[in-house]
Amino acid sequence: MRRVLGEGAFGTAFLADQLGMDRQAVVKIAHPHLVAGPSGAAIRGRFEAEVRAASRVRHPSLVLLFTAGTTSDGLPALATEFLPGETLGGALEAQLTRPEIQRCFAQIGAGLAALHEAGIVHRDLSPNNVMVSGRGDALQAKIIDFGVARLATRSPSGTHAVGTPRYIAPEQLRGAAEPASDLYALGALLYFALSGKEYLHRLETTDLLLHVAQAKEPPALREAAPNASVAEETLVKSLLSPDPRERPTAAQFLAAWEQIAIPSAPVALLVDDGSPHASAMQRHLDRLGYSIELTPDPRRASRAVAGEYALIAISGALRAVDPIRLTLHIEEHLPEQAVWVMAEHFGLEWNRVKRARCLAFTDLARLPDLASRPPPSERTPRSAATSPVPVDGSGEALIGGGAELIASLVEALATQDRAALAAVSAQLAALAKSAGAHRLGSLAQALGALAGARAGADSLAPLLDELSGAYRDSVRNILRGRR
């Protein structure tokens, strides 16, 4: 025995080395006072029955039972594989990606199906009873405690409620757990995964159990997760139905999850932590055919792996981090990743960005070429969707910074600030020529020269209008060359 891993009301779990073998195990031993009590015989009988059932099930999504029996002093005990990693609760708090959620719940559903086929009801499927190791395509989820959980959480008479409060089905409150009860718990887990909030998170334990006991309809998933799809909401609602007969079986869940969990459109991760333009950005990405994952946490973008998202879209108004630094980090660590930044205006400091598209909201409204781009094909493989078209960094700077400079020119003309007119015109001319927008550059040079010669506003205003039109034409050309 190495150390105590955890202690509950009915037993203690130890980390142990298996003698003669190069592997570790979790050894669980019933508390002596429980076995020595008046219900000791019944506990032994149920323990042995559960171990016999568990020994008939082998599945990659179920913890492996090594051996079972009694200790030298007669206490029921079993040994299972030791699973490094973290609980599902910890993984969800750290925000699993959408593909990881897809993989995780496919594995949990398959594990439940194997248990139910063997006649075993887990009775305590919860965030602490699923272990998660690895990330991305290497993620592995395993259900644990399907032996002791039944012993440890249900009295010998079968009249006690079993399970973890936020994951307990109405029939379990009456001591009548069945396979559908595990599907209810799975629905609560999926609600947590898709919304970031535990099911019925607003209710304290007493009110929570009363809500479940009264068999009330579950709240809509999209109230807590506006970005969830209708199909996801429908599946979660069916899993959380108060009537166990209306819940899908584990096999039916797997079939439904396979259909809705794999987006048919390329996935765009939209990072926005509360800007007033979040809905506008979502509408624009939706119009272009992307399946959108909205997150307020910039770490989701900075920790992305190659091929995880077809597009990472970043709000230029992020408050938690500097959006320029986040964009530069993604460009450095994911050189193949398509990145867009969306904001009202872009200053010249955005010239540090090399590949990301800088899309001003004014441009989204004015440029029909951008708004009418054909959506990505629903049949495009993810690998193809994540291969960006080579872009010219100076062109990106013009798309974003040009709008800001023109707005500054309009303001300088209105205030008759000729020094500002000349300086900003020179900046725009240099930016335009670096992007190959020679007509725009020539017009900006002319505007600066006239401003320096103290030309009147009547002469400058028409030239500024022509310059604005040339800017829009230049951006159209850049975007048209992209397609």
User: What is the tens place of the pLDDT at every residue in 2-30?
Assistant: 999 887 667 788 999 998 888 999 998 88
User: What is the tens place of the pLDDT at every residue in 162-184?
Assistant: 567 888 888 887 778 899 999 99
325 — pLDDT class (breaks 50, 70, 90) = very high
User: What is the tens place of the pLDDT at every residue in 55-70?
Assistant: 778 899 998 888 888 9
β-strand 140-143 against 291-295: which pairing, if any? Answer: unpaired
User: What is the tens place of the pLDDT at every residue in 367-421?
Assistant: 333 333 333 333 233 332 222 222 344 566 677 677 778 877 887 887 888 888 8
Domains of the chain are 3-261 (1.10.510.10), 267-388 (3.40.50.2300), 397-482 (no CATH)
- Higher pLDDT: 39 or 441? It is 441
C-alpha closest to that of 355 among 314, 384, 317: 314
User: What is the tens place of the pLDDT at every residue in 353-372?
Assistant: 888 888 776 544 443 333 33
- Higher pLDDT: 218 or 47? It is 218
**Which residue among 17, 73, 124, 182 is the active-site one?**
124
Catalytic site includes residue 417:
no
215-219, 262-266, 281-285, range with the lowest pLDDT: 262-266
User: What is the tens place of the pLDDT at every residue in 406-459?
Assistant: 877 887 887 888 888 888 888 888 888 878 888 888 888 888 888 887 777 777
